[in-house]
Chain A
């Protein structure tokens, strides 16, 4: 423990009065060495001493939330920043709707809230762990910098959840904060809590898919938690959403640039059949069917993160007022849903049908549907790139029942078009829809580092503009 006076505000950018909060200081002092150990051992492998052109949030004001400078990642100033309080904010949903928001944890909902925060917190370091080896195969310094930006911000999001646990949940909260550092993505003994966060991110296309789809689940969860009646959680999540937008930008533009490189190469070589894998792959790019299969995989894994379509937990969270719906404050109903219904697709007598279920129990399904809508925009823009190149191919989102391990569809197999399959049919056709070993081998063969400023690997197009208006040959990462 530190004996001399520490300038907390300088060390840790915050707007939570850290310098005057001995309880929080003590908790952070106990937690921080473990965090740094975790970052050094589980964070980006091989680049801890590099100077990276990173954005740091030092305050929540317009001029403060995005300061760009070169920094070594272990020296990154992870901070604790909450969106400004909204005057007179009231609990937006559930049994307490309209009452003033809670500034302290209501004891009644302590266990529920802690669980929600721990689950959210567990995803943040998980993705850093999943992505830790990607730096070595970065297709450009620009992409490498984006990866590290995403990583340090996931680290900061971990801090944000740890702040809530330490500030509001006493000893239990402190213990949970330590546990967040002890679980590890993919570990046999102490895996991360949610399945998708124990999957590998073995290559850059996976990284872009992950940041497009899975980080978008993160966005939806944060949106729902931003509607919490527990105001510190709401404010924390609102600020995190500003950063999360960048992660999805990395995912959206990443896939788009991969698609662009592929169709440009096809056009240049006069290959117009997207399914002629041999011809396309020979061009040193990733063929569109493989991109479709990666889409199918990441989309379906991410849907599992929403949990069971019908959920008592979700109903309890909503009714307690601690987790709202997407854009709860813009919805026009009674915000209690006691008599409402919501359509959910279900398997009844071997047929997929839409059934109306009590809306309160269908909140996971609803958030998942909002997520699917939110995914469509980027996919449409990827398709525009393909169409503009004159190639006959369309990337499509599979049916929500496809390849599911959790919820209503976990026991069945369907095609991306929702055709019900026997297990035998699925086994035969699976490789049409999900990445195959051959796909992976091809992708891996392309994962060769390109560390020269302004240069890009052949399988990915350069971005349309640089970070913070920097020129194309900007040295985003100064390797030691």
Chain B
């Protein structure tokens, strides 16, 4: 089992140190601590294990260090920044692991950019030596790239010439869409195995600043301190410690405090239940900080995030996820309002941004998602977004025998832009792309509680079934779903989930990684004589020369 939970005390590959409002996140990969497999993580090359620590550090810097306004990603290895993803790992990894690894890595890099853009925590890269492939892509995720000007340090994306694959964790996209490198120069750059150094790197906008060898550490620190000074984060308040998740994993169950997952292996279904808050809403943001990791708003988001990652990587054959909620709709609405009313508080803002990233992670999950809105559920506010994430939403109409409880769906301003998707739109706007009338009608329901008929009329659910039909219809819908080709479904869902405009993120997930995953499957990369397999053997790869 691959576990996404870790802690700085357990890091094998990263070192964190703090100087005032600047955090230094230094890469120092332990070559002998590969996650699984018999490859050596030489020259700060990384595997999923290295990235899990990076993601943990990025999260903790946001929550545990409100004072940090700038983060410098650097290296403790002499003349090596980072050599990118480990080739031995890539060559030996089964396809699903490669795909999951790239997806998670991309999500972590997006989280870095999210911190820069929305958290007042800007990332800088201090490249002290070779930054190759994924190493340079990591730097590309930061806001300011500093390159040591020592005549040998270079940045490069050598995937195509060297490995027959792509710089698939954002490299190609960020060159042209973020750094605005001219496309012909980008083309040249991506085919030069040894990369580009010094002045040309600066001229071509591959880096932002050249720093001489002698003053490197000092200049980097002062540049970072300048950046940190511009942050809106408070420098005099305690952070919120991300305490270990309460989690029990047994054969077919995954139990947290607010998230419970039951895996039905024979049906290939994971049933996810998110529980709404049982406790009172914090009196004010300070009280929320005091509750810290125990506050429902943070706890439920972290738990759901971990459950998604666990299921994605460790339960490949569980092809359909049903998403239910349980609890008081009023309580969720109160917490949701608290979130909106205190967005100017650093911690509350972090919690809202975390929810946004968790929901995006669901958007990016290659499983069929079915939201089931039943009596006793609490699809309200941020949890209502779970219904809109899903490929299909089904709502219970009427009451169950012996009960007078009805299912309700309650959109709030959470659905009005706060929880925007990777395409930059709200899920409501995405759902009604090209249908302004439908969008306006759906948005008009924000703030009210809809029964099944109302939700159906507003186009917010796929279908409604009453007590008589509910179990049977859902059984058949899900049985049918899991009988389809997993690849066909993954492709179909990924295409239908993201109508509307392209952004850096949608291009990375929809174009770059889709191509990468295709290249990974091709013999020219992963065949016996392909470039990935031949790398390091001294033998030239043999290519099937037909262009397709």
A interface residue numbers (CB < 8 A to B):
22-23, 26, 104-111, 169-171
Q: Which of B459-513 contact A (CB under 8 A)?
A: 463, 465, 468-469, 472-473, 475-483
User: Bound complex: CA of A104 vs CA of B477, how far in Å?
Assistant: 13
Which B residue sits closest to A108, measured CB to CB?
Answer: B483
- Ranked nearest first, the 4 interchain pairs of A and B with the lowest CB-CB distance are A107-B479, A108-B483, A107-B480, A23-B468
* Bound complex: CA A170 to CA B472 (Å): 7
**A110 and B480 within 8 A (CB):** yes
Does B477 contact A171, Cβ atoms closer than 8 Å? no
The residues of B with any CB-CB pair to A shorter than 8 Å are: 463, 465, 468-469, 472-473, 475-483
Separation in Å of the A250 CB from the closest CB of chain B? 39
Task: Find B480's partner among A22, A26, A111 (CB 8 Å cutoff).
Answer: A111
A108, B479: Cβ atoms closer than 8 Å: yes
Q: Is the CB–CB distance between A107 and B477 below 8 Å?
A: yes
> How far, in angstroms, from A26 to B479 measured CA to CA in the complex?
25
Closest B residue, CB atoms, query A27 = B468
10 new A-B contacts, CB < 8 A, other than A23-B472, A109-B483, A110-B480, are A22-B468, A104-B475, A107-B477, A107-B478, A107-B480, A107-B481, A169-B476, A170-B469, A170-B472, A171-B465
Residues of A within 8 A of B469 (CB): 23, 170-171
Q: Give the residues in chain B near A111, CB-CB below 8 Å.
A: 480
Min CB distance B456 to A, Å, is: 13
Could you say which residues of chain B place their CB within 8 Å of the CB of A170? 465, 469, 472-473, 476
Please tell me if the beta carbons of B468 and A106 are within 8 angstroms of each other in the complex.
no
Q: Enumerate 7 A-B pairs (CB-CB under 8 Å) in ascending A order.
A: A107-B478, A107-B481, A107-B483, A109-B483, A169-B476, A170-B472, A171-B463
A110 engages B468 (CB within 8 Å): no
CB-defined contacts of B481 to chain A, threshold 8 Å: 107
Q: How far is the CB of A91 from chain B (nearest CB, A)?
A: 16
Q: Which residue of A22, A26, A106, A171 contacts B473 across the interface (Cβ within 8 Å)?
A: A171
Is there an interface contact between B465 and A26, defined as CB atoms closer than 8 Å? no
- Asked if B476 and A105 sit within 8 Å, CB to CB, the answer is yes
Tell me, rounded to whole Å, the shortest Cβ–Cβ distance linking A390 to chain B.
Answer: 63
> A22-B468, A23-B468 are known contacts. Are A108 and B480 too (CB-CB below 8 A)?
yes
Q: How far is the CA of A111 from the CA of B473 in the complex (A)?
A: 13
Chain B nearest Cβ from A400, distance in angstroms: 36
Beta-carbon contact of A110 and B476 below 8 Å: yes
- How close is B467's CB to chain A, nearest CB, in angstroms? 9
Who on chain A is nearest to B483 by CB? A108
Determine the distance from Cα of A221 to Cα of B212 in the docked complex, in whole angstroms.
Answer: 85
> In the bound complex, do residue B479 and residue A106 qualify as a contact, i.e. CB atoms below 8 Å apart?
yes
Q: Give complex CA distance A105, B480 in Å.
A: 10
In the bound complex, what is the Cα–Cα distance between A341 and B348 (angstroms)? 70
Contacts of A104 in B (CB 8 A): 475
A107 touches B476 (CB 8 A): yes
Q: Which B residues are in CB contact (< 8 Å) with A169?
A: 476
Residues of B within 8 A of A110 (CB): 476, 479-480
Distance in angstroms from A376 CB to nearest chain B CB is: 41
The residue of chain A having its C-beta at the shortest distance from the C-beta of B469 within the complex is A170
CA–CA, A171 and B463, complex, Å: 10
B400 CB → nearest A CB, Å: 13
CA distance A465 to B481 in the complex (A): 57
In the assembled complex, the Cα of A309 lies from the Cα of B469 at a distance in Å of: 39
Residues of B within 8 A of A171 (CB): 463, 465, 469, 473
Given contacts A107-B483, A108-B483, is CB(A26)–CB(B468) below 8 Å?
A: yes
